[in-house]
Amino acid sequence: MSFFKRFLDDHPEAGSRDQVQREALVDLLTWLMFIDKYIALPEQEFIENGINVQNWHSLTPFDQFIQESITRARKVISNEGRTAGYLADIRTRLGDASARLAAYDACVALAAADGDEVAAESAFIANVARAFSVC
C-alpha cells in the first residue's frame, strides 16, 4: 500500500483529507526528491504510483502540478532563505497532526525508496520532523 493511499485512508479522520492536503504532500515529497540533486527512478515512481492510487481533484492536472511543484522546490533549494517559509506553508496546508505525521512518514519512505539515504535527505527529514512537531 502506498503512503499516499495511507495518507488518505488509514487515519480515522481521513475522510476529511482534501485536495489542499494532497497538494501539500506532493510539494513536500517533490522537494525531498530534489534535495540531493539526484532523482532516482524509484523516487519518481514512488510519487507517481502513490498519486495514481487516489483521485486527483484539482483544476490543475497532476502532471502540470508536478512541474509547478518542481519549480517551487528548485527555487527553495537555490535560496535557503525560503526554506522556513515554504516548510511553514506546507505545514499549514497539511493541517492536523495526523496529516503531518503521515506526510513525515511518506518522507521517510521516499528517502528509503532508492536504497540510498544521503546526508541531505536525512537533514531534510530532521527539519521536517521539527517543523511538523512529530519528534
Residue 21: inside a domain = no
How far, in Å, CA of 78 to CA of 124, rounded?
14
pLDDT value at residue 14: 46
60 phi and psi angles, rounded to 5 deg: -95, 115
10 phi and psi angles, rounded to 5 deg: -90, 0
Residue 34: inside a domain = yes
Residue 38: inside a domain = yes
Residues of the domain holding 84 = 3-12+26-132
Residue 20: inside a domain = no
Question: What is the tally of structural domains in the chain?
Answer: 1
5, 16, 65 from 59: Cα distances, Å: 21, 19, 10
Residue 18: inside a domain = no
- One digit per residue, the tens of pLDDT, for the chain of length 135 reads 344 555 444 444 444 568 898 899 889 988 998 887 666 556 566 666 655 445 677 888 877 888 899 899 999 999 989 999 999 999 999 999 989 998 999 899 888 876 776 888 999 999 999 999 997
pLDDT value at residue 89: 98
Q: Is the dihedral of CA 131, 89, 125, 20 positive or negative?
A: positive
* Grid cell listed for 30: 517533490
For the chain, where are the alpha helices, taking DSSP H only? 3-9, 19-35, 41-53, 62-78, 83-94, 97-113, 119-132
Residue 112: inside a domain = yes
Measured in whole angstroms, how far is the alpha carbon of residue 64 from the centre of its chain? 16
Residue 12, class by beta-carbon neighbours within 10 Å (0-12 exposed, 13-18 middle, 19+ buried)?
exposed
